[in-house]
Amino acid sequence: MKLTEAVNAVEEALPLRRFEHTMRVAETAGELASKYGGDADAVQMAAVLHDYAKYRDPEEMLQEINRSGMFAYDIEGYGTEILHAFAGALLVEKELNIRSSVILQAIASHTTGRAGMSLEEKIVFLADYIEPGRTFPGAEKAREASRHSLEAGCLEACAETIRFLSGRRLPIFPHTFEAYNEFAFMQLSER
Ligand code: DGI
Ligand code: FE
Ligand code: FE
């Protein structure tokens, strides 16, 4: 699939505001890829498709995820917000015939992150967090850190997400903690 075809597919799948967010994520991801490297084409494609499943029915997404065997444990209790990332990867493979594991993995981890993210995954994860339309607390700090390194930016994004969720006493997906720890260890070893 060509990038322009992917743009058309998400324009159809998403309301305008979400489509505009998607385009800003793609632009931000492009900037990060030119600064930090990675497969720029894969990064672009993953950024364009990252929220493809955002407006699907949570029950259907959960079924899709459970059927895939992607997780050995039940992820239902972590809430519906994280489902679109995992389901998105499964659905772009199924519906849009995307086969690149680099692209699929970057879509799957864009919400929760995970330990051991590839360069491309880190870029999409961070771009989603710092695109210019993001005004929540922590976005500016993550933007600032991302000028220093990709990992420093990801650390801010993980830390703020954990703060946000724990502040609301919401469950936090283990991948987010694992990603946070990896980036925190890295930061410590640099001091
Ligand atoms: O899809 P976007 O809005 O562009 O951004 P996103 O994919 O990062 O989703 C953000 C939402 O996901 C936000 O409401 C917080 C939620 N979220 C992120 N990580 C976790 C989480 N929710 C739970 N319960 N656990 C997580 O680890
Ligand atoms: Fe998302
Ligand atoms: Fe997004």
What domains can be seen in the chain, in order of their start residue? 3-134 (1.10.3210.10)
State the distance from the centre of ligand 1 to the C-alpha of 81, rounded, in angstroms: 5
State the distance from the centre of ligand 2 to the C-alpha of 186, rounded, in angstroms: 25
pLDDT for 129 equals 98
pLDDT for 37 equals 98
State the distance from the centre of ligand 3 to the C-alpha of 128, rounded, in angstroms: 5
pLDDT for 21 equals 98
Are residues 33 and 40 in contact, defined by beta-carbon separation less than 8 angstroms? yes
| Residue of 14, 52, 111 to test ligand 1 pocket, by largest number of atoms within 8 Å of CB | 111
> Degrees (nearest 5) of the Cα angle 171, 156, 176?
30
- Which residue from 162, 184, 188 is spatially nearest to 173, judged by alpha carbons? 162
- The residue whose C-alpha atom lies closest to atom 19 belonging to ligand 1 is 112
State how far the Cα of 20 lies from the Cα of 132, in Å rounded to an integer.
Answer: 11
With tokens 């990709």, the residue in question is 150
160 C-beta closer than 6 A to ligand 1: no
DSSP structure class, residue 55: T
- The residue whose C-alpha atom lies closest to atom 16 belonging to ligand 1 is 81
pLDDT for 157 equals 98
- The residue whose C-alpha atom lies closest to atom 14 belonging to ligand 1 is 81
78 C-beta closer than 6 A to ligand 1: yes
Cα 45 to Cα 6, 103, 118, distances in angstroms = 7, 7, 15
Mean pLDDT by 10 residues, the chain (191 residues): 97 98 98 98 98 98 97 95 98 98 98 98 98 94 97 98 98 98 94 78
What is the torsion angle, in degrees rounded to the nearest 10, for the CA atoms of residue 141, residue 180, residue 30 and residue 105? -160
State the distance from the centre of ligand 2 to the C-alpha of 178, rounded, in angstroms: 19
76 C-beta closer than 6 A to ligand 1: no
pLDDT for 50 equals 98
pLDDT for 153 equals 98
pLDDT for 151 equals 98
Residues across the chain: 191
CA 45 to chain centre: 13
